[in-house]
Amino acid sequence: MSRLVIVSNRVADPRKAASGGLAVAVGQALEASGGLWFGWSGKVVENGTPGEGDLHLHNAGNVQLATVDLSREDHDSYYLGYSNGVLWPVFHYRLDLADFDAGYIGGYRRVNQMMAHKLAGLLRPDDIIWVHDYHLIPLAAELRAMGCQQRMGFFLHVPLPPPLILAAVPEHDWLMRSLFAYDLVGFQSDSDVAHFSRYVGTETGADILGEHEFRAFGKTLQVQAFPIGIDVDEFTELGQAREAQDMYTQIRDEYSRRRLLLGVERMDYSKGLPQRLKAFRQLLQAYPENLGSATLIQIAAPSRESVDAYASLRQELESLCGAINGNFGELDWMPVRYIHRNVARKRLPGLYRAASVALVTPLRDGMNLVAKEFVAAQDPDDPGVLVLSRFAGAVEQMHDALLVNPYDTTRTAETIQRALQMPLEERQRRHQTLLAGIREQDVHWWRQRFLDALAAVPAP
Ligand code: GDG
């Protein structure tokens, strides 16, 4: 059996449950074949030389973890700069937030080259290599340039934007050409695949050989949607543990006379937080029966705080929350409880279960796992309602959520009101279908489909 090699920006110890669904799922596949997980160590060396970094090897069971340190300059240009200051905003359709002129591309190329160089020394001829996400798009091209001929697949966790948006990235043709060094490229949704197909059709003159097969730059590439899921069983177990149960009882008791709405995410401009708060304010204005009752708990876990766009988002949110609480709050009721801290993963299922409505309303999202976690955590006899943005990748699978356009404040407020008033029988019916869907297409299904498709790519 070939060894599986996972490459991602960050590496997690798959044995630690706190690492979450992806680490657990990938970890299981690694353990089954005795694998290698390679990426950045998370360490930044202040006066380190760009393009150089120490390699660390650890064993976690029969999985080898290999990590590389980054110099400050490499970290700032590859990670904060090009990955999170150019690719992340553009791939989420936010050209206005992308910093194209700062020269970050040099660091992005340099780190991908360095990673490829370090990884190449650890590879065996029959390894199967699975690279994750936008930080590492050119990795396979760098490995191929060093003569590596292993089977290589790539999965993009974020959306791929339409061609005219992608074309705003000065290096767009180089990035897309780099993808052809892989044997298989996976996206989250059919709409991402459609964007890819349109891009290569118009910009590169690729031959579209079939629904999933493209030929350009002398190379044939398989492309498919593999919507990522969660580990439903792991999450259900987490919900039965004491921390989640305590959280559930505490919140349920505290809100026994009120209706709880919940938002949980990393603080990120793609998640539509200001728009959500405006819709919630509209709910209070348009449906006054919610005054004194409807309460939004919004967890916005700190994320990428040294990227400028994130600091201004934080200010905007603080000001919106302050204004809503100031204008509508009473001595014994505050409409918004905004928490700019990380909540322990073990407590999340309890929080989800206590909520009547989850607001998952990103402006653009590759998939959105919070939507799936919320469904997994519900009591099937008395489930909460999922309000889901039509711009989340999850929408292609979760038709039984209440769908909204987060830019349309009035209709979003209307839909939240509908969610709050939904009869029990309809809630149960929708939840049952949603749960069956996320169970069937869980993270193990996702991983297996990707690896099967990669194994099935014809040898060159
Ligand atoms: C990227 C893509 C795609 C959130 N707040 C806390 C916390 N979380 C956890 C959630 C969930 C995860 O973080 C967030 O996953 P999402 O999928 O919602 O979003 P991204 O982080 O943007 O992930 C996305 C995903 O990759 C997978 O492919 O779905 O589209 O953007 O698991 O529970 N966890 C803890 N405390 C928090 O405060 N412990």
Q: Which element (helix H / strand E) includes 260?
A: strand 260-266
Nearest CA to ligand 1 atom 39: 345
Q: Which of 22-31, 391-400, 418-427, 430-439 has the lowest mean pLDDT?
A: 22-31
| Model confidence at 17: pLDDT above 60 | no
- Give, for ligand 1, the residue of 348, 359, 442 to mutate: max count of ligand atoms closer than 8 Å to Cβ: 348
Chain segment 326-355, per-residue pLDDT in tens: 999 999 999 999 999 999 999 999 999 999
- Give me the active site residues, please: 157, 365
Residue 370 CB–ligand 1 contact under 6 Å: yes
pTM of the predicted structure, to 2 decimals: 0.96
| Model confidence at 134: pLDDT above 70 | yes
Tell me the mean pLDDT in the region 315-324. 96
Residue 18 CB–ligand 1 contact under 6 Å: no
Helix axes 232-240, 369-377, angle to 10 degrees: 50
Atom of ligand 1 nearest to the CA of 228: 28
| Three-state SS at 335 | coil
Tell me the mean pLDDT in the region 187-210. 92
**Which tokens in the block code for residue 160?**
């791929």
- Alpha carbon distance 450, 446 (integer Å): 6
Chain segment 67-94, per-residue pLDDT in tens: 999 999 999 999 999 999 999 999 999 9
- Alpha carbon distance 354, 378 (integer Å): 8
- Alpha carbon distance 411, 384 (integer Å): 20
Atom of ligand 1 nearest to the CA of 268: 22
Sort 354 into a burial class: Cβ within 10 Å, 0-12 / 13-18 / 19+. buried
User: H-type helices in 129-189, by residue range?
Assistant: 139-145, 163-166, 172-179
Give the Cα-Cα-Cα angle 68, 171, 167 (nearest 5 degrees). 130
- Domains, the chain, ordered by start: 4-229+443-456 (3.40.50.2000), 232-439 (3.40.50.2000)
